[in-house]
Amino acid sequence: MADNKTQVTEISPAAFIAGIDHPTRRADAETLDALFRDITGWQPRMWGPTIIGYGAYHYTYDSGREGDMCATGFSPRKANLSLYIMPGYQDFGHILDRLGKHKLGKACLYINKLADVDIDVVAEIIQAGLDDLGARWPVKPS
């Protein structure tokens, strides 16, 4: 089986954030980094070239596919902020209803900018995602 394409790298998360051209996206990334650090108590690591991740877990699916991934994190992409809160949002509708403007992917929450959402609800979602993940897979700090 092929390895997971998203692997931990030695890129500095601080340098990555500092290199973001758009000032609002950079400021939002700085705010999210502080929020994720505060909630998790963990230091960030870069996963691939663009994901700032906190913690890690090893998964094994029924198919036999296995790998490692960050427990939670975000990516300040050009189009939006992508928040990775694994394994998904199926149980968090009651929280998401209070968030503000957002879109959902399979295991991602897409936000245009932090000004569009309630940051306290973002914090609640991060914690709920970690709690949900920890009930399924052992999570290791980073």
CATH value at residue 52: 3.90.1150.200
Tally of domains in the chain: 1
pLDDT at 119: 98
Centre a 10 Å sphere on the Cβ of residue 40 and count the other Cβ atoms it contains: 20
Position 75 in a domain: yes
pLDDT tens track of the chain, all 142 residues? 556 778 899 999 999 999 999 999 999 999 999 999 999 999 999 999 999 999 999 988 888 888 899 999 999 999 999 999 866 545 788 899 999 999 988 878 999 999 999 999 999 999 999 998 998 889 999 9
Enumerate residues 6+ apart whose C-beta is below 8 A from 124: 95
Exposure string over 97-112, b if 16+ CB within 10 A, otherwise e = eebbebeeeebbbebb
Domain that holds residue 82: 13-137
Position 18 in a domain: yes
pTM given for the model:
0.92
pLDDT at 86: 64
Position 4 in a domain: no
Q: Where are the alpha helices (DSSP H) in 19-87?
A: 23-40
pLDDT at 26: 98
